[in-house]
Amino acid sequence: MGIHRQLCFLASLVLAIHAGPILKPADKNKAIDYLRKFYNLEDLMSTSHFRPEEELDPPSDKLKEMQKFFGLKVTGTLNKETLEVMKKPRCGVPDVAAYSTFEGKPKWQKNKLTYRIVNYTPDMSKAEVDRSIKKALQVWANVTPLRFTRINKGTADIMISFATKEPFNSIQCTTIQYF
């Protein structure tokens, strides 16, 4: 019987090591709140196939989407690395835009787009902002058929505006919003 006990102990040890840490309910709630705010979790929860008891664990498809966005190992499970990213201070703009395939126009119907800088951040000079935005748009132009032209008046395809709002007013959370 000694060998049997040793094997059971070894199996238990292996399972305990591979099972990983048990998450606190507060961590699961944090993850659900995070996914609601930044990954349109409400859309999923409002569908008929969502069952309230599933709310105890964040939906794996939304976790996978978030993990992929942040370059984490895509597991669909709430692990330590994913939770650490969720706990970091961040801006309030969702990582994923909420749009429907049938409402609005989720894709531009043209390749030549205009952009306008509506206002500037006090954290950078106007020249730095202009250069940074031009450089960022050039990255997109280099890998897509999109071409960007700046306009100074009127409504552009991309309206860039700087704003302050908690937690925006920390130095790490100055953001550019595209409308």
- Residue numbering of the annotated binding site for Zn(2+): 91
Peptide bond into 89 cis (omega under 30): no
Given a contact cutoff of 8 angstroms between Cβ atoms, the answer to whether 161 and 148 are in contact is no
- Residues belonging to the binding site for Ca(2+) are 123, 157
DSSP state, 102? Answer: S
Q: Which of 19, 33, 36, 37 is nearest to 77 (CA)?
A: 19
Q: Which residues pair with 129 in a beta bridge?
A: none
Q: Which of 86, 78, 85 is nearest to 24 (CA)?
A: 78
- CA distance readout (Å), 139 to 62, 148, 161, 178: 27, 11, 20, 16
Q: Which residues pair with 178 in a beta bridge?
A: 160
Q: Which residues pair with 115 in a beta bridge?
A: 150, 158
- Dist. CA 140–CA 178, nearest whole Å: 14
Q: Coil, strand or helix: which one is 103? A: coil
- Residues belonging to the binding site are 91, 123, 157
